[in-house]
Structure 1
Amino acid sequence: MMKGQIMKSSFQKNLQKKVFLRSMLAVSLSMLLFVLGQTILSVTRSAARAGAALDQMEAAYRMLEEKNTDYLLGANLERAVTALLEDPADEENIMEMENLHRRFLDSIDIGSDIVITDRSDNVLYSSFSSSALTSYLYNYNNAVIYQADRSGEEVYRAVYSEGGGYADTMLVRSVRQGGKTAGHIALYISGSDWNYYLSEADFDGVITDERDNVMYASRSDLAGAANKFGGVGRGIWKNGENRYWAGVRENERDGIRIYALIYYPFNYTLTIGTVILVTLGLAWFLTVRGLSSSMAAYNAASIERLISEIRIITEGNAEHRISLETGDEFEEAAQAMNRMLDTLEELNRNNSELIRMNAEFEMSQLTAQMNPHFLYNTLEIIRSLALFDAKGAEEVIESLTEVLRYSIERSEDEVTLAEDMHYIGAYLKIQKIRFGERFACRIDLPPECLEIKVPRLLLQPLIENSIKYTYRTKPELIIHIRGEVFGDTLTLYVRDNGPGVEKKQLEKLQQELKRHDFRNKDGHIGLHNLSRRLYLKYGKGSGVSIRSPLTGGFEAAVRISRGCTQAYGRDPAERRKKCIRF
């Protein structure tokens, strides 16, 4: 016995060690792949959006630069300014200047103001209002003119900013008469109009000159009090509480630098997804570890008990039956031996017992098919929401926790309908988060229904079936759950607004559900399993029936007859014999 215990302990430890190493490897690889995948996907998308934004801003700047430069150097403006320089007091010259600039503004999306001065820096014409033409603007204009003359450039560029807000880009040129400078034209391109021009874009942007002076910005706070923007490279950039993915492009020909800022918030989806992976990995590891630990003990005990039981029979006790409930191959071998002995000794006497054992086995198998299916679908919802809706994923996790707690911690086979509907409520919440406004469920259950005991997870496969066959074909998914009690029979109805079932297929399903025999079933496994499960547990009068009205939709009716259960207990064989009134 000591040797067997040592062998069992060694087997148990080796198995647990292998399970631990492989579990940790699987969980670590899953987390690493998830984090890398999310990070690469997020960075790739943001970089692509930043590239497209840079292209858009550069194209807008090029268009604006070309139109304003053409206007500034155009012959029409040259003639109008020359006439104004020759006779500043002539109203016709002033009117011509006003009309010319107004026509130009009508042809371009971003507005501008113009200031014309003579060689003595006297303002001959300005489109600025009298309040906007401050002494600061006048002095700044003269300073830029001085720099423009010294630069020798045909069109000199500068940036004008006063008292915060959006800066204006200045384009300045001289007007020459007789080989000498007779005056200057200064064009102030509106920074606030540039912001409006990009207001519908899904990004922020800044354009600066070589000295980091902000020429154009989509938001005034990006420029700051000094109208400067710089020191930002490609990648993540924080501005206060906001995070951006920054794209940068140098335009050496125009002497500008373009920044595209794509909103890049903290990736809560990545954090939540990692927590989910860790949680599921830990749960999986603990489950496998528990199974591996018990496997060695069960195997050793099962072999010892099976040999002991067989020895009793071989020693002459022919009426003895092997009692081994291990839930594995040893139990199947013991059951096969018992069936063989029962057949040889008293086939008729033990026939009902065999039916009971087969019925209980089949019922446990049918129940086992439904629970993993629901868990799989719920995890799929969490996986999808984790990529796009962190808050929705968090709500689904809470509902899933409630459902799992109900499924795992509740050991009884039956609960009141009220308790089961509380679980259904959590399940429906998951579906509501998944489908949003497309999904609606109405529940009409009188108090007398809620007090009756039913199998756990009773209506979940029917609701899941309605969702499966409705959501792909209908813009709205509507489910109606109602119930009634007549005599000792509880009837629950689940109806949807789906496409229904064709008449020929409907008749076939109805006949199969009446027979409670689905050896040749093809499709609608959930309905078959549920009906067979109720029939095995409660006997005749219990099961599932269906109909598909001509007006559309599909309705499943679940019937549970409690009279036989109360009168003759839960033995399926006894109910079949005695409950002949159903």
Structure 2
Amino acid sequence: MWLRRRRIAHGFLSEADQLTHEALRSGFQAGRHLRSGLTADTAEKAARHLRLVLGGSALAVCDGQEVLTWTGHGEHHRDQALGHARQTLESGDTAVLGRRDLPCARPDCDVRAGVVAPLVVEDRVIGTLTAYSDRPSPGLARALEQVASWVSDQLELGELDRERTRAVEAELRSLRAQISPHFIYNSLAAIASFVRTDPERARELLLEFADFTRYALRRGGAFTTLADELRNIERYLVLEQARFGDRLQVNLLVAPEVLTVVLPYLAVQPLVENAVRHGLADKVGTGTVTITATDLGDQAEISVEDDGAGSDPEDVRRALDGEDAVDGAGTNESVGLGNVDARLRRVYGDDHGLVVETAPGLGTKVTFRVPKYAPGVHPG
């Protein structure tokens, strides 16, 4: 009896599987570049991978003004590519090119036909993808339309990422502007009060103030470590205790395992500022602020609690919804509460927003959880 052994030339993958794997890998590499936007540099890097997916003689990428890149054979046709793209840029429709569109005196040239497909972002044609071949091919036309649609999706996702980044930067600028002018004025006044009676204390407080404002107004990345955030909160509390003395008590309960957790920059400090303001406002005697960071396995839980005046839950709801909640002094009642909540939800999802427990006369506790590791989240 003869047994026929199946020949496996490339490990456990069939030839079709290998081709599929290569196409997916090339597509992934192209998408990584396209997420940065449609430029000459990203188009050149992505086009090499896209041509591997499509096959054909050559591939050109154009925006509305120029040919961003040409890869493959027939480089002498590059100057014609923008003209080939013009109709598609204007109409948004796929166009088929024939020999009449590609005049050439070189008998060995294999750029004799082509297909032009639009690249669309937010319903606007921002460029074209043109695949060239040695003869007309319905299969190439269908494949190019699919690839152009996928490229458009990558470009649109990249634009959404940039819009998100711009929104976060705008929110951070807004949050910095909300750092209470009263706090700055009162801190400087407290420092001034020690200049004659205790110059060394005044000098230490002035250094703490400089370090606090340097961190709070920094122009770094959107993320920081919990350790750095707590370090700056400590500076803030030293300055507030210089004002309030024994009236302000602080409890800090932090698990060492969560100090390296990365979270949005200025995610905790505004909650502490809010707690100090409301923990001592209209309160006779001592006010206590408790900051807790707990290890929950794959997550860290951070809470800021005060035993002060508390708030109407409806006012808190409006603050979290981004509506103005204004107190009698004309300042935001909950400093940055809605801002912090929105940034946490944007980065980690709606399950990671702020949870606020409060009632008039019963103090306030604000809690949130962040994963210890999250894609794209790293200190700036």
TM-score tier, shorter chain, comes to: 0.5 to 0.7
Is structure 2 residue 231 aligned with structure 1 residue 428? no
Aligned residues: CA RMSD: 3.7
Which of 179, 204, 211 is 1:402 aligned to? 211
Deviation at 1:414, TM superposition (A): 3.1
Which one has a larger percent helix, Structure 1 or Structure 2?
Answer: 1
Match of 1:557 in 2: 367
Deviation at 1:407, TM superposition (A): 4.6
Matches within 5 A, 1:267-286: none
1:129-173 residue CA offsets vs partner (Å, 9 max, x unmatched): xxxxxxxxxxxxxxxxxxxxxxxxxxxxxxxxxxxxxxxxxxxxx
Match of 2:224 in 1: 415
Per mean C-alpha deviation after superposition, the further-off stretch among 467-476 and 349-358 is: 349-358
Asked whether the 8 Å contact 1:378–1:400 carries over to 2, the reply is no
Distance in 2, Cα, partners of 1:382 & 1:416: 26
Deviation at 1:520, TM superposition (A): 4.4
Match of 2:306 in 1: 496
Asked whether the 8 Å contact 1:500–1:552 carries over to 2, the reply is yes
Asked whether the 8 Å contact 2:310–2:358 carries over to 1, the reply is yes
1:375-412 residue CA offsets vs partner (Å, 9 max, x unmatched): 74443124423654424653331101222444567834
- Residues 382/447 of structure 1: CA separation in 2 closer, same or farther (3 Å cut): closer
Q: TM-score, normalised by structure 2?
A: 0.53
Matches within 5 A, 1:193-342: 311-312=65-66, 341-342=124-125
- Residues 489/541 of structure 1: CA separation in 2 closer, same or farther (3 Å cut): farther
Which of 167, 189, 201 is 1:384 aligned to? 189
Match of 1:440 in 2: 249
Distance in 2, Cα, partners of 1:547 & 1:419: 26
Matches within 5 A, 1:43-122: none
Deviation at 1:531, TM superposition (A): 0.8
Distance in 2, Cα, partners of 1:397 & 1:415: 24
- Residues 521/562 of structure 1: CA separation in 2 closer, same or farther (3 Å cut): farther
- Residues 387/419 of structure 1: CA separation in 2 closer, same or farther (3 Å cut): closer
- Residues 540/342 of structure 1: CA separation in 2 closer, same or farther (3 Å cut): farther
Is structure 2 residue 141 aligned with structure 1 residue 355? no
Match of 2:275 in 1: 466
Asked whether the 8 Å contact 1:541–1:560 carries over to 2, the reply is no
1:410-447 residue CA offsets vs partner (Å, 9 max, x unmatched): 83443332232122111111111121111111100111
Which of 260, 263, 280 is 1:451 aligned to? 260
Q: TM-score, normalised by structure 1?
A: 0.36
- Residues 478/383 of structure 1: CA separation in 2 closer, same or farther (3 Å cut): same
For the residue of structure 1 that corresponds to 2:66, the secondary structure is: helix
- Residues 407/472 of structure 1: CA separation in 2 closer, same or farther (3 Å cut): closer
Is structure 2 residue 262 aligned with structure 1 residue 479? no
Deviation at 1:363, TM superposition (A): 1.2
**Paired letter, 1:341:** R
Asked whether the 8 Å contact 2:229–2:269 carries over to 1, the reply is no
- Residues 411/369 of structure 1: CA separation in 2 closer, same or farther (3 Å cut): same
For the residue of structure 2 that corresponds to 1:541, the secondary structure is: helix
**Paired letter, 1:529:** N
- Residues 361/420 of structure 1: CA separation in 2 closer, same or farther (3 Å cut): same
- Residues 368/546 of structure 1: CA separation in 2 closer, same or farther (3 Å cut): same
Structure 1 residues not aligned, in runs of 5+: 1-308, 321-336, 572-582
Which of 346, 358, 368 is 1:536 aligned to? 346
Q: Percentage identity across aligned positions? A: 19
Structure 2 residues not aligned, in runs of 5+: 1-62, 69-81, 90-119, 129-148, 327-333
**Paired letter, 1:543:** G
Distance in 1, Cα, partners of 2:302 & 2:272: 12
- Residues 387/403 of structure 1: CA separation in 2 closer, same or farther (3 Å cut): closer
> Max radius of gyration: which structure?
1
Match of 2:357 in 1: 547
Distance in 1, Cα, partners of 2:157 & 2:322: 21
Distance in 2, Cα, partners of 1:402 & 1:456: 15
Asked whether the 8 Å contact 2:281–2:309 carries over to 1, the reply is no
Match of 1:126 in 2: none
Distance in 1, Cα, partners of 2:357 & 2:175: 22
1:274-302 residue CA offsets vs partner (Å, 9 max, x unmatched): xxxxxxxxxxxxxxxxxxxxxxxxxxxxx
- Residues 493/310 of structure 1: CA separation in 2 closer, same or farther (3 Å cut): same
**Paired letter, 1:370:** L
Distance in 2, Cα, partners of 1:353 & 1:342: 16
Asked whether the 8 Å contact 2:252–2:291 carries over to 1, the reply is yes
- The answer to which structure, 1 or 2, has the higher relative contact order (CA under 8 A, 6+ apart) is 2
Match of 2:42 in 1: none
